[in-house]
Structure formats: C-alpha cells, structure tokens
Structure 1
Amino acid sequence: MREVFKNPKFKLDSLLALAERLRGRPCKCDTSQSPKSGCMNWVIFVTFDDGVDWVFRSPDIAMSHMMSEESACKMLVSEAATLKYLRAHTSVPVPEVYSYSGSKDNDIGIPYILQSKVVGRALADYAWTGISLQPSGYKSPWQLLPMSDEDRHKIMSQLGDIMGRLSEIRFENIGSLFEDDHGGYFIGECLSPSFIWQWRDSLEELDRGPFSEECQYLNSLVHALSCHAKELIMAPHSFFAPIPESFDYPTRDGYIAAGRRWRDFLAVGSKPEGSKNRLDFCIAAQFLGDMIPRLTSTADGSFTLSHPDLHLGNIFVDGDFNITGIIDWGSTTSGPITELLATPTLGSSLPPTESQVVAFRSSFELRAMKISPGDWEKADGIRHFSRLVRLLSKQDYVYFKNLYETVWKFQEDGLPDPVNYGRLFHERAQQESNKKLLTELREDDDLEEEIREREKATFRYAEENGSDSLAVARKLTLMAEMNPGFVADGRLWRWIEDAVGRPEY
C-alpha cells in the first residue's frame, strides 16, 4: 500500500495537476513517503523537475489536540489567510500559500494548504538551552547540534525584530484573521487554543469573539478555563501535583522514580477527574479574574498578531543562524500587545535567560515604538496567564505561583513570604459560592466502590511483587487531605526517595 494514500479521499493526480498548473512546470510525488505529522496536520512534499519542493498539508484529526473536524478546518482557513496577509503586509519570513481549501469540496477531495517549503533546518535540531535538561544517565535518541550563547542571542534578537514588525500592523478587534470573497481580510471568531483545543470547541457557553476590548477577551479566557474544569477531561492535570520535570532530578533513575510515585499518587482516590481538583482549577480561574485589571496593557486599544506556539520546531535557520522562516500559524490571533511582548521560551519549561530577554527587548524596541516598563512587566504576567488558561502545561501550579507573585509583588502591603498557596486556595474554597460549586461537582464523582476497584486493578502487579507503591500513595493522599498547604512537587518526590527509596515494580 502506498503511504500517501492512507486517506482514501485524497486524490494525488488532482494535487499534481494543480501544482503543475500553478507553477507551469512538471512535478511528481514520491508515493512511498510516509506523511509527516505534527500536532494538527499531516504533510507530504511535491517535487518539481527543477528540484523545488512544495508542501501539501491537511488536518489530521486523529493527531489533533482533540477538536472537531470543523474547528480544524477553520484553523486551516485562518492560517492560510494569515500567511497571505503577512506576505503582503510585512517582511516576516513565512511560507507562501499557493492554494487552499477549507472543505473537501474540491478536486483533491480533502481540506488542504499548498505552500512553499521553508529552507534551512529546524532550530529543534540544535542544543538551544546549552545545558542538558535530562538527568544523568539519560541517552537521547538523537544528537543535538552545538550552538553558542552568541548564536542564541542572535536568534532572540531576530525574534525581537520579527515581533517588532508584527507590532506595526494593528487591528480594531481581537480574533482570528480570515480572507473575504473580494481578497480583503477581516477579524472573525478567536481560534486560540484556549477556546477550541482539548474539546473546548464543544463548550457552547464560551464567547469566542471577535472582541473589541482587552478585558472582555481576558475574562473570556478565564471563563474557558473554568468551564473546562467543570465539564471536560482534566487528566493528567492535578493542580497541586504538577507533573515531574526531568531537570528537577540529578539522575535518570531519580526522575523515573518520581514519575512513578506521581502516577501512583494520582491513581489513589479520584484526583484529576475528582471534584477537589476541579474546584482547585475553578478557584485558580477566580484568582486569574481578580488579576485581569493588573494585566491589561497601556496601549492605544488596537491589537497585534502574535504566534501562540512559537517553539523550536517552528523556527528554521540557515547555517549562520539567520532565521529563514517561521511555520505553523494556525492558532494565530490578534490580541493585546503584551502577548507579543512576552519573551519567547521556545517551548522550554525553563524561562529565557536575562541576556536573552535583553536581546529580545532591545531588538523589538529598535524596530517598534517605545514600550512602557509597565507593559514589559505585564508581558511576563501574560506569559504565565496564557499557559494557565490553555491548560497545556505540565506545571499549572508553578505558572500560577509565578503569575501571582508577578502581579501582586507591587501591592502596598507586599506579599507574605512565602505565600502558602494551598491555604490560599483553602480559604477561597470556604466562600459560600465555592461550597455550593463543590457540592455540584461532587455529583459527578466516582462511587467509592468504583475507586477501590480501579485502585485494585492499578496496583495489582505492584502488590504481587511486594512493592510499597500503594501504601506510600495512600499515606500521601491522607497527608494531602489533612494539610491544606500540601503540594506534591519535586521536593516531595526527592524527599521520598531519600526516605524510603525508589518504588519496586
């Protein structure tokens, strides 16, 4: 079976005919190639007789972040419009769109974008952080290419320049960009991941815009998080039990042990999908709502385009680390300028270094207007805010903590040192409205018999082999129930390893 025909509705002959007609040269497609897959699309390449490659992309619903086919096609149409707009109105390096369709009602038989191929190689091929984020003893399946601090600063400086170019184009509303029937462009509903990924497109009560005011937009993002916490799947997110990160552990075995202890802890009771965890995320949303007045920008009320998924795999460079292209603009929306000002982390769990922040900001201000110090501060907060409302982070608790301290550090009374976030949430949970909400959420909790049966099945093999995993997980669960300030983070897992050793399986 030829790999490119995995989709039975896909008509390769029609694609080749379209490409030849658009470029005026013969082309072919290697039918043995396995389509490449990202989080949203599958991709194949069309090669012309002079060696030029074009990229053919189509939504891959099975690989998408859980959304309807309709939403995936809307994103594709918006991405095509965004790329065409950027090519026409800016010098931002993006692929050129030759043809696109948001439905299967075309000669090729499926929704698609046909675009140019970016030259160079992805920045993901290089050792961006300069340090190993993996614990000792871990062997990477591939060898990353070296790059110097000078190279990293060059990349951040270029990104600052590119974001400065984006800041020069302004829109009156917040939302996604679409092309009208006359070749013009307009802002429509907001297709941000916060509104449609992880089945959020099924939440009918969400206001997805377009929005005319920043506060309206930010409040709707908070509402999206709250609705998700009440109605949609939460696993693996447990607010006070963040997912272990490899760089928190000095050895590979310690990291693996932490991951096992964390999974055991979540398997006892009904943690991610239970009412307590859902209430924690609802309370987090309430705190985020309180912070919105301190996060709104001081800009003139117009809005800028920003790339919400700027990671190493979406940035391409040449051999001298000149950025040759940025791809994957499907979730791009207009928004407050603070979203554009946030120094990119490029997908890393680690924040950018101080020198990288300076390189980004300096280059931005050379290209664009002078930014007020207050908006740079708010941009840091918006970075944490965005990660939280999207619910795509491994570290929801950490992002909340960073955001809370960023927003409130300038209040007159200052912050308590340190803030006990567990108790902070416990006190908010005592409000009558939250007591009522918890009662409603408990209606969907699993029955005790169901929980015990699931625990028995989960830990059967461990118990048969004399493991202490269930006993430790139950003790930790009891501690969490008794202590409102309990947080199951890296400090806990390292302490358990020192105290009782690693779990046996």
Structure 2
Amino acid sequence: MSTVLKYDTVFAYRDFDLQALCRRASALRQGVPCACDPEKRPASGSFNFAIFISFEDGVRWVFRSPTSTTLPLEQEEKLLASEAATLRYLKAHSDIPVPEVYDYCVSSDNDIGIPFILMSEAPGQQLSDVWKSASHSQPGLEAGEKDKILSQLGAITFKLSQLRFDTIGSLFEEAGSFAPKECLSRGHMLDDRYLLEIPRGPFGSETEFYNNLISALSEHAETMPLLPHCFVAPVPTRDEYQSYIQYQNASLLWNDFVCVGDKFDSSKNRLDYVVLADALRDILQKLEPPAVNPGTFPLCHPDLSADNIFVDEDFNITCLIDWAFASSVPDFMLFTMPGLPQYRDELSSEFEMPFIDGFYEVIPKSMDRRTISKYRELWETDKVQVAWKLSRLLTLDSIRDYPLFAAVWEFARGFDQDAGQYFQQQCRLPHYVQLYKEFQKEDIPISEVEKKENDYLGNKVFRKTIARKLTLVSEWNRQYAENKPLSLRNSMFVTSPQLWKWILSFAQDWDDMFDAVGSEIIIEGKAKGGGEREGKEGVMP
C-alpha cells in the first residue's frame, strides 16, 4: 500500500481543519452539502494557496490562505484583509467583474485554524492560457481579439478612475465602511521592503507618496539584496533573440558578467541605484504629473497581467483576480498600460489605442469637458509610456532598469545630456564619492568574491575570460573613485543584446576555427544535451 505524502495533499502548504471549512461553507449556503478532495494538491501563487470547494448543486467556491513562505504571516494577513476589503468595496460600488467574498478571517483564531478568504470561483479561463507570447510556438490570439480585451481593460480603468479617496493607501474594512489606511503597494512590501523603517501612509498628497517610494528605493539600494538588479547589466529577455539557444547563451554570458566581482551587492551597484533614486526625485519634480481631480486618488489594480484576467469563449472579460497589494494611487500611476502577457512586459504600442478607446467609450456624455480634457492630457502617448516605466523603477519591479531610466530621462530632460553622461557626471561629485567609500566598507572580502567566481565558473576558461575582460572594460571598480581619470567613453558602460550577440558571433567563429568552446557556450545547431527548451529569464543561482 503506497503512502500519500503531505506534499501531495490539500495540506501541502499549511495544516487546517478541512471538515470545519466544509461545515462553514455549507452553512453559508443554507445547508447545501459540499466537499473537497483531501488528496488534491492546492493551486498556488507567490503568496497564497487555493483549494476548491464543490457543492452538490455544481457551484464551486475558492478557499485562499497565505502560504507564509514568502512574507511573514503578519504581513500576509494584512494583505489578505486588504484584498477582501477591496473586493467587497468593488462589488458594492462598481460593476467591475471580481470574485464575491462570502467570508474571511485574518487571524488563525477561527474554527478552520488559519487566515482565509472564501469566495466565488472566477468563471471562464485565464487569459494566459490563450494569449501566448511571441516566444511560444503555438499560435495565440488574433490582433482583433487582443484589441477587444484591451478595449475592455480600458473601460475598467475608467471605472477605477471613478472610485476615489482623499488619501493614498490600501483599503481596509471596519464595521461595514471602507477607508485607505497603511499602504501595502508592491513598492512598499516586496523584496523585503516591508522591513524598511519608512512611513506607511496613508499619504495625503502625490508628492508625499512619490517621495516615500523614492526613499524606499534608496534605502533598498543601501541595505538590502539587489539580485537580479545590476543597473548597467539589464537581464536578457527572450524576445530580444531569434532562437531560444541564442537567448540561453546570452543569459549565460550575463550570469558570468554579474558573477565576476559579485556585482549585485557591490558598493558600485548600490550607489548606482542611490543615484537612480535621486534622479527620479528630480524627474518627478520636473514632470509635475497631471491630476484629474487634485486631492483625490483612484483605486488601482496592482497587477493586470494575463494570469489575473479571466475571459469567456468570446473573449469577454469575466473576472479580475488577485487584488493583493491594491491601493489608491496618483492618477499618473493609474493611467498606464497593463503589463501583458506578464506584469513586467511592456505592452506593444499597437495595443495602446484600443485600450484608450475603450476608456473613452464608457465616459458618460454628461461628464464635464474640463475633466475629459485632463483625461486626454494623461493619455498622451509619451506620458503613458513614461508612467509605466516610472512605476516599474519606483518599485524596483523590473529586470531592465537602465533602459527604463534612459527613456524616462530622455522624456524629462530632452537631448541636452544622455542618461549615461549624467551618471558619469554624478559619480565624480564629492557626495557620491564619500558615500561610495562608506559602501565599500560593507563589500565582502576579495577572497570570498573569488571563491564565488570559482564556485560558479569553475574551469570554464573562455567564459571567465570574457566576463573579466568586460568587467575591466566597464571600469567597474573605478566608477566612483576619487580623482578618477576621465574615461575614453563619453557615456557609461551598459551591456545590451547587441553586445551579447557580438560575443556569441565571435564564439561561433572561434568554434569553427578551433572547436574549443562547445562545452562552455551552446553553439546554434550544436547544443550539448538536446535541442531548444523554453524557460524563464535566467539569473545567477
């Protein structure tokens, strides 16, 4: 007789009273019997797991609870309470399709034994099942079908813009009323930012909110792990390369480069992000982002990715899920395009107009023309694109920080000085030179750096040589040095797809001549250990 491991059961993430859960669910439906398969492993995301409760009449409910593995349980309970309040508020004050919350408890002091939300199942299927990115071999949605979805998302954005509050924060429910309190946005919570000793809101102005996020970014850069963020080395992405093998090779080269010198948490990389934070503060002051109704702030979904959007067979949106980290925000942050298919993916410009048209289609004819004029100002194409990039930088929720900053810089400052020249200028200022010296005191010893390099690269001489040469060319150890000689370059060193492709082309030529590097770099058509394989963006282990 085989033994069923807990990992393969409904209790894979946490122990709880399954019978008490079924009793509670049945009581909420006036005694309709229900059941849950105890040997079915829960579905799970980054922060919660979910199981399905099936009633005899065919209705299914979802039971969600924190996994307590990514964030401390106290923080996950706050997120759960805020998400439940947000869903209830949306049901009561809009027709935006969201799950209905039947019951929730934010502490373990209940008959089930763990915090939970009990809610309706999202009808339809996840958009991610049918969207398909360009990197997938199977065909995805037609352009017209994507247009239809984007138009609906635009309409939902208008509806969110009408749900306004007098402060910026996450919603909580007390005695049937809803109000923004502590801000649980991604920029305040993720990457261990919940540990930072910064004000949490609610914030009474856009300036206060932006300055707080910038302070969080700066403190994050100074004291917390930065992997996979290396400012001058954007992470390669699949759509930049013709084949998966080429992308895989570029990822190897990127991993090698950031490994040499332990670049992620080095003093130089930390200071780059402090300079970034200071630059964003100046940019926001110059931009003066417009507001529709100054002094009030709309509610915003924090992650309109394809995983959180459900559609029917005709591509009508049936439900938006995952409202954890939701909060009210400045108008400038609401008026951005969704990240599709994934949160970090910048929406192709061809889908911007369907989204904006969908927004305007649901505006009541009675709306004041001055308000519509403010909407048009916010929806100007360049501002929309800058808003998306700024929001990713402020929350450090990107894998391509330098390209995002360069685009924002160009929009705010024009062509008087490019972003790389600006950074070169800043690194010579006494304030940053002194800060660099302080950061250097926290750098790990050279012996440990060399051990990390050897543990990762081993005897891969070709790759190690490339990474060290690139590090030398980048002047990595001299960027913020006192009395540093002027560089031969007129801008800072930043890796790019073109650089990795050039190196791979060189490796191909070298392999053709000497047949020497096949075991270190996968050469197109000569892959060691099999053909192409799809995977995630690689980061150093």
Give the TM-score of the pair, scaled to structure 2: 0.85
Contact 1:381/1:407 (8 A) holds in 2: no
| Aligned match for 1:304, one of 298, 310, 316 | 298
d(CA) in 2 for partners of 1:286, 1:38: 34
Instruction: Give, as a single letter, the amino acid of the residue that structure 2 aligns with 1:189.
Output: E
Query: Is residue 2:11 matched to residue 1:16?
Result: no
Contact in 1 for aligned 2:303/2:339 (Cα 8 Å): no
State the Cα distance separating 1:19 from its structure 2 match.
0.1
The residue number in structure 2 matching 1:268 is: 260
Match of 1:229 among 218, 221, 224: 221
**Structure 2 SS opposite 1:5:** coil
Q: Which amino acid in structure 2 is aligned with residue 457 of structure 1? A: D
Q: Which amino acid aligns with 1:48?
A: F
Q: Residues 13 and 49 of structure 2 are in contact (CA less than 8 Å); yes or no, is this contact kept in structure 1?
A: no
Question: Is 1:404 the counterpart of 2:409 in the alignment?
Answer: yes
Counterparts of 1:165 and 1:394 in 2: how far apart (Å)? 31
Q: State the 1:72 CA deviation.
A: 1.1
CA contact (8 A) 2:409 2:419 kept: no
Cα distance between partner residues in 2 of 1:8 and 1:57: 11
Give the deviation of 1:500 after TM superposition.
Answer: 3.0
Q: CA deviation at 1:128?
A: 4.7
1:51 aligned partner, one-letter code? G
Aligned residues of 1:295 and 1:381 also touching (Cα < 8 A): no
* 1:9-408 aligned within 5 A: 9-24=15-30, 25-62=32-69, 64=70, 67-129=71-133, 132-133=134-135, 143=138, 146-180=140-174, 182-204=175-197, 206-293=198-285, 294-301=287-294, 302-346=296-340, 347=342, 350-368=345-363, 369-372=371-374, 373-377=376-380, 378-408=383-413
Deviation string, structure 1 residues 119-163 (Cα, Å, up to 9, x no partner): 10000011355xx236xxxxx6xx56x321111111011011111
Q: CA deviation at 1:365?
A: 2.1
What is the alpha-carbon distance in structure 2 between the residues aligned to residue 291 and residue 133 of structure 1?
35
Deviation at 1:9? 3.5
1:77–1:102 CA contact under 8 A, matched in 2: yes
Corresponding residue number in structure 2 for 1:445 = 443
CA RMSD of aligned residues (A): 1.8
TM-aligned CA deviation for residue 349 of structure 1: 5.2
3-state secondary structure, aligned to 2:131: coil
Q: C-alpha offsets along residues 338-383 of structure 1, whole Å, 9 cap, x if unaligned?
A: 2221121322655334442111112212324515343224443221
Return the alpha-carbon distance in structure 1 between the equivalents of residues 344 and 330 of structure 2.
23
Amino acid at match of 2:76: A
**Which segment drifts farther, 276-285 or 6-15?**
6-15
* TM-score (structure 1 length as normaliser): 0.91
Distance in 1, Cα, partners of 2:44 & 2:344: 23
Q: Contact 2:405–2:419 (CA<8 Å) still a contact in 1? A: no
| 2:168 match: secondary structure | coil
Separation in 2, partners of 1:92, 1:259: 40
CA distance in 2, matches of 1:167, 1:128: 29
Q: Does the 8 Å CA contact 1:314/1:328 hold for their aligned counterparts?
A: yes
Matched, 1:457 2:455: yes
Structure 2 unaligned regions, length at least 5:
364-370, 476-486, 512-516, 521-541
Distance 1:268 1:8, change over 3 A: closer
Q: Deviations over 1:302-351 (max 9, x none)?
A: 10001111100000000000000000001110011222211213226553
The one-letter code of the counterpart of 2:185 is: S
Instruction: Report SS of the residue matched to 1:99.
Output: strand
**1:176, CA displacement in angstroms?**
0.1
> Following the alignment from structure 1 to structure 2, what is the Cα–Cα distance between the partners of residues 474 and 203?
35
Q: Structure 1 regions of 5+ residues with no counterpart?
A: 135-139, 409-413
Contact 1:20–1:27 (CA under 8 A) maintained in structure 2: yes
Query: Residues of 2 paired with 1:320 and 1:92: CA distance?
Result: 18
Structure 1 CA distance, aligned partners of 2:79 and 2:441?
36
Moved over 6 A (4+): none
Query: Deviations for 1:264-314, whole angstroms, at most 9, x for unmatched residues?
Result: 111111200100000011111111000112152232221000111110000
Q: Alignment partner of 1:45: what SS?
A: strand
Contact 1:214 1:296 in 2 (8 A): no
Which residue of 2 is the match for residue 486 of structure 1?
A: 493
> SS at 1:308's partner residue?
coil
Does structure 2 conserve the Cα–Cα contact (< 8 Å) formed by 1:283 and 1:428?
yes
- Conserved? CA contact 1:338–1:376, under 8 Å: no
Which secondary structure state, in structure 1, belongs to the residue aligned with residue 233 of structure 2?
coil
Q: Deviations over 1:381-409 (max 9, x none)?
A: 2211111122221111121122222333x
Of residues 429, 432, 435, the one that matches 1:431 is 429
CA separation in 1, counterparts of 2:54 and 2:209?
Answer: 43
Bigger drift between 281-290 and 331-340 goes to: 331-340
| Secondary structure of 2:149's aligned partner | helix
Q: Distance in 2 between matches of 1:240 and 1:7?
A: 38
Distance 1:460 1:351 in 2: 37
Q: Secondary structure at the match of 2:53?
A: strand
Letter in 2 for 1:331: F
Q: In percent, how many aligned pairs have the same letter?
A: 38
Match of 1:411 in 2: none
- Cα 1:486–1:449 shift into 2, 3 Å: same
